[in-house]
Structure 1
Amino acid sequence: MALAIHFDNALASGRLRSQADLAQAGQVTRARLSQIMNLCNLAPDLQEELLFLKPYFNGRAPITERQIRPIAAEPNWDKQRRRYRKLTDSAGRSDRG
């Protein structure tokens, strides 16, 4: 999420002119850049929640960017919130705000 915000700010500030420039500077493919940038479509409270998830140190991440992609693709923020809660409930996250 932090990377998506950073990339978005780089474009908004004019530091980089296009997503193609941003992909090159970030050393990612354009497709990957699109996946990252789509996280900016999440409801603001979900963005904040992702930014403040407690770190994990053992095993796999309980919530992955790949799992968040379809939620970010949903244009309705209320539906996003429901889908996110379902995901976090199934992941057993107890550190939500």
Structure 2
Amino acid sequence: MTTIKRKVDFNPRGRGRKRDAKPSTKGGRVPRVARLMALAIRLDHLIQSGEVADQAELARVGHVTRARLTQIMNLLLLAPDIQEEILFLPVTERGRDVVTERDLRPIAAATEWEGQRKTWKEILQ
């Protein structure tokens, strides 16, 4: 059996700002849900390519619970067009993000994409 080691940083506490992070030139920040969507896509690629065995291994290396990792990976159950819209959400200038990962959980739980799209449009309004 071959062991593959890879550094994955989830920042489970989510507090504060990295000291070496540079502010965006656009004058805002990428919504957290867009970053989580991109992370889910990247993690899925790591599993598909065989770089990591499964979600349990990702959770261990990322120092998050398997439940939290599942919540993030469930974003991949969204219709492709919704995923794309999430990735291209406008930057948040100030205050809270318009859409949160928690808002998306019931949408991802719906099995039919048409139902997902309807609920997604309701959230955006």
Do they superpose with TM above 0.5?
Answer: yes
Aligned counterpart, 2:9: none
Structure with bigger gyration radius: 2
Aligned counterpart, 1:38: 74
| Matching of residue 16 in structure 1 with residue 67 in structure 2 | no
Aligned counterpart, 1:64: 100
Higher RCO structure, 1 or 2 (CA under 8 Å, sep 6+): 2
The normalised TM-score by structure 1 is: 0.88
Overall identity of the aligned pairs, in %: 53
State the 1:57 CA deviation.
2.7
Gaps of 5+ in 2: 1-36
The normalised TM-score by structure 2 is: 0.69
Runs of 4+ in 1 over 6 A off after TM superposition: none
Gaps of 5+ in 1: 90-97
Q: Aligned-pair RMSD on alpha carbons? A: 0.7
